[in-house]
Structure 1
Amino acid sequence: MDISLSSDKEAQSSSTDDKRGGWITFPFIIVSMAGLILAGGGVFGNLIVYLIEVFHLKSIDATQVSNIVNGGSSLIPIIAAILADSFLGCYSVVWISSLVSLLGTILVSLTAILPSLRPQPCQNGPVCKSPSKLQFGVLYASIALASIGQGGMRFTVATMGASQFHKPKDQGVYFNWFFFTYYIVAIISATAVVYVEDNVSWAWGFGLSVVANLLGLTVFLLGSQFYRHVKPERSPFVGIARVVVAAIRKREVNLSSKSEDYYHGHDGVTTVATSSPPTKSFRFLNHAAIKTEGDAKSDGSTAKPWKLCTVQEVEDLKALLRIFPLWSTSIFLGAPICVQANLVVLQALTMDRRLGSSHFRIPAASMLVFVLVSTAISLIILDRFFWSAWQKLVGRPLTPLQRIGVGHVLNITSMAVSALIESKRRSKSISSVLWLVPQLAIVGIGEAFHFPGQVAFNYQEFPALLKNMSAALTAMVIGITFYLSTALSDLVRRVTGWLPDDIDDGRLDNVYWIIAVLGTVNFGYYLCCAWFYKYQNLGGGR
C-alpha cells in the first residue's frame, strides 16, 4: 500500500511538472535576471573608483581588489553548478544566491550612507585618513557577499531558463533573448547607474542596486508556480573521480585488446551503448574499465563503483583531457582584457572626459561600456551577415576553434593599439578620453568572436553528461584570468617601476607591449593545440 501511494504521488508530481515551464516562465526569468545583473553592475562596475575616492585606496591596490572580486564571482558558478546538479536544484540555488547578493548589496549601500562605516573625506593636502579595521571588515564582507550571490546566480539562472523548454529551437530563442537582455542591462548599469554614483551620490547609486536586486528576487519567486523543476542528479565530477581512483587501484591488471574484457554497463546505467574497447590514448585510464572477479553483480550492475567504471565514463574523462590544452589557452586570452579594463579606468581618470564643450563628463568606469556596445553590434553583424557570407565564399562555416583564433589575433591587436595610445597620452599629445575607444572597440569585436566560439566548442565537445558544466567551466576560465591578471600586475609592479600610484610617472605602454608579446606566444601555443585537436562532433575537421 505504501509503495502504491508513493508511486501515485510521484506520477502526479511528474504529470504536474510536465504541464509547467514553457514561455509563460520567460518574463519571470528574464526580469529577475535583469534586476540581479543590474544590481551587480551597480556594485562592481564602479568599484575601483569607489575604493579610490571613498576608501582612499591607492589606484593599483584598488585594481587588485577589483580583480580578486571579479575572479571570485567567476569561480563561484562552478560551486553553484555542483550544488544545483547534485543537491539543491537550479531553483533553490538561484533564490538563495539572490538573497545573499541582496544582503551584500545592502551592506555596500550602508558603507555609503553611514559615515561611521567609511573613512573621513580627505582634507586639504594629499594626506587622507585610512579606513579602520571595522570599516575595512564591513566593506570586504559586503563585497564578498555580493560577489558570492552574483556568481551563484549568473549562470544558474541561464541554465534554469533553458530547462523550461523541451525543443532545441525554443532553447535557442531563449538564449538569444537572454544574452541580448544581459548586454542591454550591462550597458545600462555601466552608464546610468555609474553616472548616478559619480554625479549624484554613492548612496543613491547603491540604493538603485538594492532596489534592482530586490525586484529581481521578488519577480523570480512570483514565478515559482510556473517553473519546471529538474531533479538534481549526482555530480558528473564523481564519475571523473571514480575513473581516476579505479585506474589507480587496478594499475597492476594487464590491459586487453578484446572488447568483452571491458565493462560497458547495462540497461539503465549507461546512456551511450558501445561495444568497442577503450581508445589507446591515455591508456592508463583503461584500467578503470577492465573487468576482474567480483567487480560486477549477476544482473550486470557495478558491485564496486570505485573499482569498476564503464568504457563510456573512461572515454568521457579522456575527452576532457584532450580539451584541457585548448581550454588552458583561453586563460591568457582573457587575462590581458582584465588588465586593460582596470588600466583604462585609471587612464580615463587622468584625461579630459567632457563631451565637446558641454559640462557632461563621462564617468571613468563607463568607458568599459564601449566594449559592451562593440560586442553587441559585432554579434548582430556576425549573425546576420558575416557567417552566411563566409560560408558562401569558402563553402563551409567557420569552426569554433577558428573563431577563437580570430579572437586571439584581435586581442593582441588591441594591446598593441593600447600601447601606442598610452605613449601618446603620456607625452600629452592627446587629452580626450575618446582616444581610448578604438582599443576598447577592438576588444569588443574580438570578444564577439572568441567568447561564443568558446561556449560553442565546449558545448559541442564536452561529454554528454558534462554539457551542463561547460558554461560553468567557461566562467571558471574568466575567474582564473582575473587572478592571473592580478598576479601579472603585481609582478610588473614589483620588478619594474611601470605601475606607480600616479600612472603619469609610470610606463603603462610598456605593460601593454609585454602583454602583447605574451599574447603572441600564447597564440602560437593555441595554434599548436588547435592543429593537433580532432573534433569529436564536427566530423573530425579542424
Structure 2
Amino acid sequence: MDEAHKLNLWEGYVDWRNRPAMRGRHGGMLAASFVLVVEVLENLAYLANASNLVLYLSKFMHFSPSSSANIVTNFMGTAFLLALLGGFLADAFFTTYLIYLVSAAIEFMGLLLLTIQARVSSLKPQPCFSSTTSISCEQFDGRKALMLFTGLYLVALGVGGIKGSLPPHGAEQFDENTLPGRKQRSAFFNYYVFCLSCGALIAVTLVVWIEDNKGWQWGFGVSTAAILLSIAVFLSGSPVYRTKVPKESPITTIFKVLAAAVYNTCKIRNPSNAVMGMDTSTSYVTETSDGEDSSNVKRKATSQTPTESLKFLNRAVMNKTGKPILECRVEQVEEVKIVLKILPIFMSTIMLNCCLAQLSTFSVQQASTMNTKLGSLKVPPASLPVFPVIFIMILAPIYNHIIIPFARKVTKFEMGITHLQRIGTGLVLSIVAMGVAALVEMKRKRVAEANYGSGLANSTKPLPITFLWISLQYLFLGSADLFTLAGMMEFFFTEAPKSMRSLATSLSWASLAMGYYLSSVLVSVINRVTSIYGHKPWLFGSNLNEYHLERFYWFMCVLSALNVFHYLFWASRYKYNSTSPQITSPDSSQLMQQN
C-alpha cells in the first residue's frame, strides 16, 4: 500500500463491510445525521410505552398503583442498565454497527409480543366487575404474566443494546484531532438529546392519544412499526459510516490491572521479596499495542512511568511478577485510572435520575386525578412529558448556537463551559424540581380534601384543579435532564480511553438505571419504615389521595441537596486529562499545559 493511500485511511476504523474506512468517504456530519434520525424513531418506540405503561398495568393488568410504579421503574432501570452490556460488547467483540442491528431486532420481537397480547383478549385479564359493595378483579398471573414480562424484558434488552451502541456510533463519526471535528462532536451530543426529545414528543402526544382512545394494540403497533423503520434508516446510512475496530475487553483490562496491583503488593510485603520489590519499583512495561491511538491516554507518547495519581495501581506495571498473564503496560494502568476517576462523577448523577423516575410513575398518577382538559381538548395524563420535551427542543438549539459561543468568548474554553459545570447545573435544578413537586402535591391534596372530605380515599372523579400545575416539576426536571444527560455522555466519551468509550458512554444510561432502581428501593423502604413508626405507610393504598406523596417529594428534595454537596466534593478535585480536548481552544494552549 503506497504512502498516499495510507494517509487517506482512518486508522483503527472500518466501514460496514469491515474494510478500512476512507477519509472524505466515511464519517462526518452526514453519517451522524442518520444516527440522529434513528434516535428519533427508536426513542419514539421506547417512550411511547414507557410513559403510559403505569396506567396500562394498573387499569388493564390490575396491578396496584405502587406495584405498577415499581414494575415500570424496574423495567426502565433494566433497559438502561443493559446499556453497559451493549457498550461492553461494542468495545470488546463487535462493532457498534452490528450491536445496534441485533438490539433493534430484539426490541422489535418484544414489541410484537406486547402488541399481540394487547390485541387478543384471552391473553389479558378480564375487566373488573363492580358491585354495590366492592370491585372484583381477575388476578393476573400464569401464562398471561409470562407473556407480558417476556415482551417487556425483550424490549428492555433491545433498548439497552441500542442505548449502549448508538450514541458512541454517532460520536465516532468525527475527527477528534481537529478543532472543527471536536466542535461537531459536541454539537452531536446536544442534538442527540434534541432528537431524544423529538421522539418523545411524538410518543407522549400522538401515540399516547392512540393508546387511550383507539386501544393499546394500536399503540404497541405504532412502536413496533417505528423500530422496524429505524432499522431501515440505519441501514441506509451504511455506506458512509466509519466504525471503530473492537480491541481487547475493557473489563478484562480493568480486572487485570487490579489483580496485578494486588499481586505485586502482596509480593512486596513478603520479606523474602523485599529486595525484588525495591529493585523493580521503577522498572515498568511500557510497550504499546499495535495501532493504539496515543491521543487518548494521558501523556501516552512520552510516558516512561505511571503518573502519581492512584499510586497503588502503579504496582501493576512491575515487570517481574513471574505471571505473564498479569503483566500490564503503563498505558493500561493509566486507562484504568481514568475509569476509576470518573466513577465518583457517575455515582453523583444517580440521585438526579431517581428524581426523573417520578416523571413516569407518581407524576402521571397525580395528573390522572386532576382536570386534564385544555378548553375542549382532553389531554391524556401520560402526555404530560410534552412540557419538558418542548422546553428541551427549544433550549437545545439555543444552548448550542447562542449560549455556548458566548461562553467560549468569556471562558476561553473550547466547549464554553466544562462538562462538570454542565452536570452540576442539572443537579441543582433537580433540587428545585423536587421542592416544586412537593408544593404542588400539597396543593392537590388540599383541593381533594376540600371537595371530598372524609370520602377522600374513595374519590374517583377528577379534581377541580388543572393538571398544568404538574407541568412545573416537569419543566425543572426536563431542564436538569438536558444539562446532565448531554454533559454526562460527552464527558464520559471524551475522558475515557478510546478502547473503553462505548462502555464509558453507557455509564450515562447506567446512571438512569440506578436511579430507577433507587426509586423502587426508596418506595419500599419508606413504606416499611413509615408503617413501623407511623399509622400507615406513606405510599400505600388503592387511591393516590391516601398517599403522603408530598412527604416523599420533600425527602427526595433533601437527598438531592445532599447529593449536590457530594458531587461538588469530587468535581472540585477532578482533573481533566491533559490530552483531552474539551478544555482547550485555539487561544488557550497555555491553560492546557497548566492542567
> Which residue of structure 2 aligns with residue 214 of structure 1?
228
After TM superposition, the structure 1 = structure 2 runs for residues 244-283 of structure 1, keeping only pairs within 5 Å, are 244-251=258-265, 252-253=267-268, 261-266=283-288, 268=290, 271=294, 272-283=300-311
Q: CA shift at 1:424, angstroms? A: 0.6
2:77·2:517 contact (CA, 8 Å) conserved in 1? yes
- Compute the displacement of 1:92 (Å): 2.0
Alpha-carbon distance, 1:227 to partner: 4.2
**d(CA) in 2 for partners of 1:131 and 1:293?**
59
| Distance (Å, rounded) in 2 between the aligned partners of 1:313 and 1:371 | 42
| Change over 3 Å in CA distance of 1:81–1:523 after alignment to 2 | same
Question: Relative contact order (alpha carbons < 8 A, sep ≥ 6): 1 or 2 greater?
Answer: 2
The residue type paired with residue 411 of structure 1 is: S
C-alpha distance in 2 between matches for 1:389 and 1:77? 34
| 1:507 corresponding residue in structure 2 | 548
Shift of 1:470: 2.4
Unpaired stretches in structure 1, ≥5 consecutive residues: 1-9, 296-303
- Alignment pair present for 1:367 and 2:384: yes
Structure 1 partner of 2:66: 60
Q: Distance in 2 between matches of 1:529 and 1:23?
A: 34
Q: Which amino acid aligns with 2:158?
A: G
Q: CA deviation at 1:257?
A: 9.4
TM-score (norm 1): 0.88
Q: Distance in 1 between matches of 2:429 and 2:479?
A: 8
How far 1:514 moved relative to its partner?
0.7
Structure 1 residues 256, 475: closer, same or farther in 2, change over 3 A? farther
Name the amino acid aligned to 1:442.
F
Code of the residue aligned with 2:290 in structure 1: it is G
- 1:35 corresponds to which residue? 41
2:320 match: secondary structure:
coil
1:199-225 deviations in Å (ceiling 9; x for gaps):
121111111112212222233345545
Taking structure 1 as reference, are residues 351 and 73 closer, same or farther at Cα in structure 2, changes over 3 Å only? same
| One-letter amino acid of the structure 2 residue matched with residue 499 of structure 1 | L
Q: Percent identity of the aligned residues?
A: 31
Q: Does 1:498 align with 2:507?
A: no
Task: Using the TM superposition, name which of 410-419 and 256-265 deviates more.
Answer: 256-265
Task: Say if 2:203 is the partner of 1:189.
Answer: yes
Shift in Å, 1:164: 4.4
Aligned residues: 522
Are 1:482 and 2:491 an aligned pair?
A: no
What corresponds to 1:346 in structure 2? 365
Is the CA contact (8 Å cut-off) linking 1:48 and 1:66 kept in structure 2?
yes
Q: In the alignment, which residue of structure 1 is the partner of 2:99?
A: 93
Q: Does 1:156 align with 2:156?
A: no
C-alpha distance in 2, partners of 1:179/1:11? 27
SS in 1 for 2:340: helix
Which is worse superposed, 522-531 or 158-167?
A: 158-167
Q: Is the 8 A contact 1:500 1:506 kept in 2?
A: yes
Matched to 2:569, the amino acid is: C
> Is 2:548 the partner of 1:533?
no
Paired AA for residue 263 in structure 1 = V
Q: Which moved more, 1:73-82 or 1:324-333?
A: 324-333
TM-superposition CA deviations, 1:496-541 (whole Å, max 9, x none): 2211231211211110111111111111212222223233344499
Report the 3-state secondary structure (helix = DSSP H, G, I; strand = E; otherwise coil) of the residue aligned with 1:274.
coil
Q: Which of 108, 129, 137 is the aligned partner of 1:128?
A: 137
Secondary structure of the structure 2 residue equivalent to 1:138 = helix
Q: Does 1:143 align with 2:121?
A: no
Deviation at 1:20? 4.9
> Residue 456 of structure 2 aligns with which residue?
none
Query: Where is the strand percentage greater, Structure 1 or Structure 2?
Result: 2
CA offset at residue 378 of structure 1?
2.5
Amino acid at match of 2:286: H
Distance in structure 2 (CA, Å) of the matches to 1:29 and 1:391: 27
56-65 vs 12-21, which moves further: 12-21
Give me the TM-score of the superposition, normalised by structure 2. Answer: 0.81
| Distance (Å, rounded) in 1 between the aligned partners of 2:470 and 2:523 | 20
- The 1:171/1:82 distance shift into structure 2, 3 A limit, reads same
Map Cα deviations across residues 130-150 of structure 1 (whole Å, 9 max, x no partner): 223111110000111111112
- Give per-residue Cα distances to partners, 1:64-86, cap 9 Å, x unaligned: 00000100110111111121222
5+ residue gaps, structure 2, are: 1-12, 176-180, 269-273, 295-299, 451-463, 531-536, 584-591
- The letter of the residue matching 1:316 is E
Contact 2:110 2:154 in 1 (8 A): yes
Greater alpha carbon shift after TM alignment, 106-115 vs 383-392: 383-392
Task: Name the aligned partner's letter for residue 51 of structure 1.
Answer: L
- 1:174 is displaced (CA, Å) by 4.8
Moved more, 221-230 or 455-464: 221-230
Give the 3 Å change call, closer, same or farther, for CA 525–79 of structure 1 in structure 2: same
Distance change >3 Å, CA 495–CA 45, structure 1 → 2:
same
User: Aligned AA for 2:547?
Assistant: G
1:19-34, aligned counterparts within 5 Å?
19-20=25-26, 25=31, 28-34=34-40
Query: Secondary structure of the equivalent of 2:374?
Result: coil
Q: Quick one: distance in 2 between partners of 1:11 and 1:361?
A: 51
